[in-house]
Amino acid sequence: MPKGIAAGYTKALRTIIDANVVTILVAFILFMIATGGVRGFAFTLGIGTLISLFTAVLATSAIMGALARTRILSSRHALGAQGEGRPWSIDFVGRSKGFFSASGMVILAGAIAIATLGINFGIDFESGTRIKAPVEQATSVDEVRETLTPLGLDDAEIQEVEEPELGENVFQLQTANLDPDEVTQVQAALDEEFGLSAADFSADSIGPTFGAQIARTAVIAVIASLLVLSLYIGLRFSFKFAVPVLIALIHDILITGGVYALVDREVTASTVAALLTILGYSIYDTIIVFDRIRENEPRMPRATFSQIVNRSMSEVLTRSLATSLSTLLPVGALLFFGGPTLQDFAFAIMIGIISGAYSSIFIAGPVLTLWKEREPQFVRRRRLVMKENGGVVPAYATGRMAAETPAAGADPDGLGPVEEKPLSDRQQIAAERRARRAQASGATATADAPPEVDEETDGDGGNGASQPKKPRSSNRRKKRHGR
């Protein structure tokens, strides 16, 4: 058990570091570019990721190593190691057209919603004044508007919001910038008509310059994150792996934006922070998949790239689903029980987690396959597999194509035998000496006899049996006894 735990942590170390580094990069970009509360969130995200990396690599390894020598982990069932179980048999690559079509339909619906309904940007981006007024009497949006019409606010955006901590009748007003005197007039009018809790009344104003700065910062942060993450993936894997990552990230951004437009949810600064967190989470999941593909590629030297991808994704699918579901639990708690700011953040995170888990398995892998299978070595493998299987490529490698190591003397691509290595100079000299001794004794030796190692080679030839040693002479024995 201790050796198995140590081997598991050693094997997973590179993947853990890769997956957490991208989150740290996103947090760093967000911290350097963003302002206000978003910057504080970025600092917390970076510190939390570093602590998580420390606990995942060192703390849990030490704890598991200590428990491995106790009765707690004496059985493999204690760690859930109940055999390989029932493997997934989904043809991820073969069904990629269906996955692409499903994503395209969702993105198209979101694009239509954005074009027709638009995105509901909050005052963080459009500037203005937002007022939250918890009134004591039950009323309607129309009655509130009639009360504010004499103040010239008949075109204000008024909606009733659910905030139990403020009361049962809470209204939110959003309008152009109001000076402090105008805000006081609004408060007095609502208090006189419906009754108002002055302690819970709040007003926030964002100027046009600050709103434009936030919007510009958000765009720069997203673009910088995409470029830095792509560069890191290109350096750690290859730049062919970076293109599917970009496509998957853009896929997640478009779906999140489309859902916001469909449900007419307000986009705030917290949404931007959540969006960048989504990028980090999505690429975290994609790195897990790509790392398994990179690990299986040399293990399956005869399989096509689509077969390697199918096997890799079937091996990590359970892990991805478990990670996504465990992450959705606290996010769901924030969404249903948190305050307004946390709810906005949690809603974007929830959409991103679902979209990221989908894209890392069903989008990034098939896109990578479409590109990699154009390489000459995988073209040859595909041609060979189709020849052996009647013109089709099975979803999963079978038989010798599924072998994890090439057979002795076989070509790694399965395209023909490999030439045998020539004998070394020392082995050739030993073979010539054996041939001369055989001719002198009248034996019929051939030139292609397998080389044997005599006592002069000290066993370095390695291709034949060593010659028996000569017996000691009787004179030497007599001298020894005489002594």
Ranges 26-30, 134-138, 402-406, 454-458: which has the least confidence: 454-458
Ranges 176-190, 271-285, 286-300, 469-483: which has the least confidence: 469-483
Query: What average pLDDT does this structure show over 71-83?
Result: 60
pLDDT (0 to 100) of residue 2: 66
Q: Would you say residue 371 has pLDDT above 70?
A: yes
Q: Which residue has the tokens 């096997």?
A: 311
Model confidence at 448, pLDDT cuts 50, 70, 90, reads: very low
pLDDT (0 to 100) of residue 43: 83
The CATH code for residues 128-206 is 3.30.70.3220
Q: Token digits for 457?
A: 């080679």
**Residue 445 to residues 272, 427, 435, 457, Cα–Cα distance (Å):** 83, 17, 6, 20
Query: What average pLDDT does this structure show over 99-103?
Result: 91
Q: Nearest Cα to 173, choosing from 204, 195, 150, 200?
A: 204
Q: Would you say residue 108 has pLDDT above 60?
A: yes
Give the distance, in angstroms, between the CA of residue 253 and the centroid of all CA atoms in the same chain: 15
Higher pLDDT, 233 or 212: 233
d(C-alpha 265, C-alpha 271), whole Å: 10
pTM: 0.66
pLDDT digits (tens, 9 = 90+) for 128-180: 788 888 888 888 888 888 888 888 877 777 887 777 777 778 888 877 777 78
Percent of the chain clearing pLDDT 90 (strictly above): 4
pLDDT (0 to 100) of residue 401: 56
pLDDT (0 to 100) of residue 416: 41
Question: What is the average pLDDT score of the chain?
Answer: 75
**Contact of 361 with 92, CB cutoff 8 Å:** yes
Assign 298 to helix, strand or coil.
coil
AA identity, residue 113: A
pLDDT (0 to 100) of residue 369: 92
Q: Which CATH class is domain 94-121+213-420?
A: mainly alpha
Q: Token digits for 303?
A: 């399989």
Q: Would you say residue 95 has pLDDT above 70?
A: yes
